[in-house]
Amino acid sequence: MSLEQWFLLSPLLALGLGGLLLMLLEVFLPEQQARFLPGFTLATLGVSAALAGGTWLRYPGGYSQQILGGAVAVDNFGTFLTLLILGAAFCSVLMGWTYFPQEKMEHGEVYSLLLFAVAGMVALVSGTHLITLFVAVEVMSIAVYVLVGARRQSVTGNEAALKYFFLGSFASGLLLMGIALIYGMVGSVELHAIGHFLAHPEAGKLPLSLVGVLLLFAGMGFKVAAVPFHAWAADVYQGAPTPITAFMATAVKTASFGFLIRVAGTAFLPAHAQWVDLVSVLAILTMTVGNALAFAQTEIKRMLAFSSVAHTGYLLMGIVALGGHGHSARAMLVYLATYVLSSLPLFAVLTAWSGPGEKRTRIEDLAGLGRSNPVFALVIGVSLASMMGLPPTVGFFGKFTLFSEVLAAGHGWLALIAILNSIASVAYYLRPILVMTMQEATETKPAAETDLPGIVRAALPVGAVAVALLTALPLVFDRLVGWAGHSTSGLF
């Protein structure tokens, strides 16, 4: 391997090495210096992000090179998503800065697992080989199973981890089965080779390869919580420690969709006509069921879980629209970025607000927040407005970009159903806003809140303003679309 290839792999290597080092160092670490752990984690993530940023800057004209014998491609697409994932992970660790010690989960393994999970994600968005991708999915998933259950005393946490683990293993089985079938038909697990094979007019219609494709969609459908593989979402989002929920809602989702875009766009696109109807149905079901279930929730994290299911549905439309000649992949990246940006401040506030032991979890507990803590209320309000897609928030421009690509690709009905779903979603996104701004507090004595580190507290109002207005600035929106376009041009 040449020096350049080492450099290209360095973001991934840094994460893996950092995770291993952290495990070793913790053994020798005196107990009172526990703050070393999150510090080291943040530093590792930062180094990795710097290296990825270096790759991005070094190849401004776009770059695509296969390394490790064609198992991994380092291209702008991977780098864009890597940076997004690293950013999300960085913020999640910051949210946990005081939360983790308070919930007695400040152990070296939590941080090293987090780093391993991120390493898995980075591999997942750069792999071009189904075996690499499978290994990446497992590295990510196994680490996240453990993280979900990291609050060992919490019953809901244990339940969530167990559920996620069982259902996740089952999904991995489906995924592996799909890979095996595809390999059996094609004789290769390399994405471009699969694409070549399916491009043959008869090959795409072979039942076995079709079953393989569908099993693969099913396996990944579980990871992104697409209906009917969504049953775990609410329990896991609720039971997981809030910073980890944030990590799942942002980083895991981004990485899984990175995988889906690359696989569907490179390997499966020639057989688009065979699976497009099925994925359309999947998208419609996912957004509709997600929104319907979200409406029935009284716990805010469960509501957000189903809202995240609904957003998966919107994103799946982008997979459907990949068949058009437009820029569907670009729109999906923009959507993912806006979704991550709107989610992170919200989860940061929920981390603080729910307090030690996550005592406050219900939507009605928000009553009076507008008066007692206007900054928190502002962040929650803006983030939810962005998720419902109210202009001029970033969520509006995300939806706008994605829906217009879906329309331009000729799926008018799909876009219409998505819009109807967005309308319906207003009903439940509005509820917390109503409760916190217009109902008086019911608690006589306000419950304790978790302290946030000063930097997060300072960042919250900035984040709220950014979510509210950032993409309305022409410079920012065009830049973001430009970057995303840069990442996806020549990808397939």
Partner 1 sequence: MDQMILSFLIFWPLVAGLGIALWPVRDARASWIAALVASGIEAVFALTLLSGFHTGLGGAQFEVNALLLKSAGVHFHLGVDGLSLVLVLLIALLTPVALFASRDVSHHQRFHHASMLALAGAMAGAVLALDTLLFYVFFELMLVPAFFLVGRWGGEKRLEATTRFVVYTLVGSLPLLVALLGVGAHHLNVTGQWSFDLPDLMATPLAGNAMWLGFWAFIFAFAIKAGLFPFHGWAPDTYVEAPTPVTFLLSGVMGKIGVYGILRFALPLFPVAAQSARSGLMALALVGTIYAAWLALVQTDLKRLLAYSSISHMALLLMGVFSLDSQAWSGAVFMFLAHALATGGLFLLVGMLAERRGTSIAQFGGIARQVPWLTTVFLIIAMASVGLPGLNGFVAEFLILMGAFASNGGLGVVATTGVIWGACYMLWMIARTFFGSVPAPAKGAKPAPELRDLALREAVMLVPMVLVIIWTGFQPQPVLDRIDPSVQAILSPIQKAVVPASNEAAAHASHGG
Does position 292 bind partner 1 by CB under 8 A? no
Residues in contact with partner 1, shown as a per-residue x/- string from 406 to 435 under the rule CB under 8 A: -xx---x--xx--xx-xx--xx--x---x-
In angstroms, how far apart are the furthest CA atoms of the chain? 70
199 binds partner 1 (CB under 8 A): no
Q: What sign does the CA torsion over 15, 20, 24, 30 have?
A: positive
Rule CB under 8 A: say whether 446 interacts with partner 1: no
CB of 386 to partner 1, least distance (A): 12
Smallest gap from residue 489 Cβ to partner 1 (A): 13
**Contact call for residue 478 and partner 1 (CB under 8 A):** yes
- Are the beta carbons of 87 and 43 closer than 8 angstroms? no
Subset of residues 120 to 179 that bind partner 1, contact rule: CB under 8 A? none
Site for partner 1 in 353-412 (CB under 8 A): 385, 390-392, 396-397, 400-401, 403-404, 407-408, 412
**Residue 75, beta-bridge partner list:** 64
- 13 versus 408: smaller Cβ distance to partner 1: 408
Q: Which stretch binds partner 1 (CB under 8 A): 14-22, 167-175, 289-297, 469-477?
A: 469-477
In angstroms, rounded to a whole number, what is the distance separating the alpha carbons of residues 266 and 263? Answer: 5
Helices assigned H by DSSP within 187-267: 191-199, 207-223, 233-239, 242-247, 253-262
Minimum distance of partner 1 from residue 320's CB (angstroms) = 16
Q: Which is nearer to partner 1, 254 or 437 (CB)?
A: 437
The DSSP code for 190 is: B
List the one residue from 481, 487, 488, 491 that touches partner 1 (CB under 8 A): 481
344, HSE (Cβ side, Cα atoms, 13 Å): 31
Tell me how far, at minimum, the Cβ of 446 lies from partner 1, in Å.
20
DSSP code for 448? P
Of 154 and 421, CB closest to partner 1:
421
Least distance from partner 1 to the Cβ atom of residue 6, Å: 35
Number of residues that bind partner 1 (CB under 8 A): 32
With CB under 8 A as the contact rule, the residue among 368, 477, 487, 491 that binds partner 1 is: 477
CA dist., res. 262 & res. 256, Å (int): 10
**Hey, which residues does 65 pair with through a beta bridge?**
74
Q: What Å distances lie between residue 216 and 66, 129, 231, 268, CA to CA?
A: 23, 13, 18, 11
Q: Are 331 and 402 in contact (CB under 8 A)?
A: yes
Retrieve residue 445's tokens.
Answer: 């004595």
* CA angle centred on 165, ends 161 and 167, rounded to 5°: 120
Pair 252, 121: CB distance under 8 Å: yes
Q: Which is nearer to partner 1, 237 or 314 (CB)?
A: 314
Q: How far is the CB of 488 from partner 1 (least distance, A)?
A: 13
Which spans of this chain sit near partner 1 (rule: CB under 8 A)?
385, 390-392, 396-397, 400-401, 403-404, 407-408, 412, 415-416, 419-420, 422-423, 426-427, 430, 434, 437-438, 472, 474, 477-478, 481-482, 485
